[in-house]
């Protein structure tokens, strides 16, 4: 039996399905089990498996997770959401303010973390103001996805792309910033048009546990984040080292236990990355990846063509999820604009389907835990109504801007 091919097929089938039918084995567990099976079956030695893991990418993720954990622990997200809610304003304007804040936070602190922290607080705010939480929750998910496209810090696949393809942090801001800003306007416009006249709704929701606001810890987190962004722009030091330095500074505290921050790290995502690195390495080492890409080229599919790479990234992100798809495409991402192209396509495509982005699923899970559901529809169909126009419009903006950037750099 061709073990690397079999493991790869099973693991990516779970990436598509979300879990193993009949078992409680999710994507993370499947990637981990696949990596273990490859070593136990002799397809890789333990040394080869460890070497396959991109430690720099995992270190970068860990450092940024610690920075995000600082803001959750200090009550920064709760205070920010309460500040938005306290201002007398119209529902449409409140939505715009929410998008502006969450987009900025997602660009610097990753979209998944922002959605996890803000979703339950947002439900409580809407209940207090007798507003339907659904459009605001959909705005949180879509806005955090679009906002995260602005930087290489915004989401896991952007971090991976930046590390693997050595994309300059400052250079990518020009590629991702314009589509992200224009995309936020699109998200606001689609939601306002869709829910015009249907903002009000009485909702009974259990308020989330109160989080005390620690001004000192918040200021510390903001200072470290500002220094990190400045260092990423100007310091000649590896990004993973800078991120770990930022996280390490936050662990040094007289009042906050390091355990409080480590408990808020998404260890599952780190394990998912590690497992996929091993599975993909075995698949490539066995020659299957090269054979698959050669077969595609023989049949007219040229991944060196930016249009082909863009379409493949959009479709594939909604089939196997954006992080696994990114890992598959990195070996053929040879076009000069491959980095920003992959980052924008895989991120913005996440708004098409409810399952297209982990941020979407986090928002829905948090809402359902608090008893919030759309009226007369399920979450998937409600998301589809706004997700399709948002995705098509933002992808068109991204493709047009990348074409302009390509002409400018030619």
Nearest Cα to 36, choosing from 50, 25, 22? 50
CA dist 49 and 278 (Å) reads 6
Ramachandran quadrant class, 327 (left: phi over 0; alpha: psi -120 to 50; beta: rest): alpha
Coil, strand or helix at 303: coil
CA dist 78 and 292 (Å) reads 48
* pTM for this model (two decimals): 0.86
> 199 lies in which domain range?
3-409
CA dist 16 and 156 (Å) reads 18
Burial label for 194, CB within 10 Å (0-12, 13-18, 19+), is: middle
The total number of structural domains that make up the chain? 1
Question: What per-residue string of b and e applies to 199-219 under the rule 16 or more CB within 10 Å gives b?
Answer: beeebebeebeebeebeebbe
* Per-residue tens of pLDDT for the chain, all 410 residues: 789 999 989 988 888 787 888 888 888 899 999 999 999 999 999 999 999 998 988 998 899 889 989 998 898 888 888 887 777 788 999 999 999 999 999 999 888 888 888 888 888 888 888 888 999 999 999 999 999 999 998 888 898 899 889 999 988 999 999 999 999 999 999 999 999 988 877 776 666 677 788 899 999 999 999 999 999 988 888 888 999 999 999 999 888 889 999 998 889 889 988 998 999 899 888 888 888 888 888 877 888 888 899 998 998 888 877 888 888 888 888 888 899 999 999 999 999 988 788 888 888 888 888 888 888 778 888 899 999 999 999 999 999 999 888 776 65
CA dist 80 and 225 (Å) reads 17
> Taking the CA of residue 162 as centre, how many other CA atoms within 13 Å lie in the half-sphere pointing to its CB?
29
Q: Output phi, psi for 54, to 5 deg.
A: -80, 95
């Amino acid at each position: 039996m061709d073990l690397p091919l079999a493991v790869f097929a099973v693991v990516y089938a779970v990436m598509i399905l979300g879990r193993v039918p009949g078992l409680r084995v999710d994507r993370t567990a499947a990637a981990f089990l696949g990596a273990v099976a490859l070593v136990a079956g002799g397809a890789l030695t333990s040394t080869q498996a460890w070497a396959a893991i991109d430690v720099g990418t995992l270190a970068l993720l860990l450092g940024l997770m610690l920075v995000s954990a600082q803001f959750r622990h200090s009550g920064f997200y709760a205070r920010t959401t309460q500040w938005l809610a306290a201002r007398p304003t119209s529902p449409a304007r409140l939505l715009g303010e929410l998008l502006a804040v969450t987009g900025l936070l997602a660009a610097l602190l990753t979209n998944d973390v922002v959605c996890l922290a803000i979703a339950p607080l947002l439900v409580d705010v809407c209940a207090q103001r007798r507003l339907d939480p659904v459009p605001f929750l959909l705005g949180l998910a879509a806005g955090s996805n679009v906002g995260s496209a602005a930087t290489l810090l915004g989401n896991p696949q952007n971090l991976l792309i930046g590390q693997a393809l050595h994309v300059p942090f400052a250079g990518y801001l020009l590629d991702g910033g314009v589509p992200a800003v224009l995309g936020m306007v699109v998200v606001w416009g689609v939601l306002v048009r869709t829910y015009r006249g249907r903002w009000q709704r009485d909702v009974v929701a259990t308020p989330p546990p109160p989080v005390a606001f620690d001004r000192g810890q918040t200021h510390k987190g903001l200072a470290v984040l500002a220094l990190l962004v400045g260092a990423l722009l100007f310091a000649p030091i590896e990004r993973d080292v800078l991120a770990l330095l930022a996280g390490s500074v936050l662990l040094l505290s007289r009042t906050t236990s390091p355990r409080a921050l480590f408990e808020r790290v998404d260890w599952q995502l780190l394990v998912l990355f590690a497992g996929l690195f091993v599975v993909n390495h075995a698949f490539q080492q066995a020659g299957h990846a090269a054979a698959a890409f050669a077969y595609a080229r023989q049949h007219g599919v040229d991944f060196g063509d930016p249009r082909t790479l863009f379409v493949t990234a959009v479709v594939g992100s909604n089939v196997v999820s954006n992080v696994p798809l990114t890992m598959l495409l990195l070996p053929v991402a040879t076009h000069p604009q491959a980095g920003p192209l992959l980052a924008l396509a895989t991120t913005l495509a996440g708004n098409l389907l409810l399952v297209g982005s982990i941020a979407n699923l986090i928002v829905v899970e948090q809402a359902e835990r608090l008893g919030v559901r759309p009226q007369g529809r399920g979450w998937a169909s409600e998301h589809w109504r706004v997700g399709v126009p948002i995705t098509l419009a933002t992808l068109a903006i991204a493709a047009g801007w990348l074409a302009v950037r390509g002409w400018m750099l030619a």
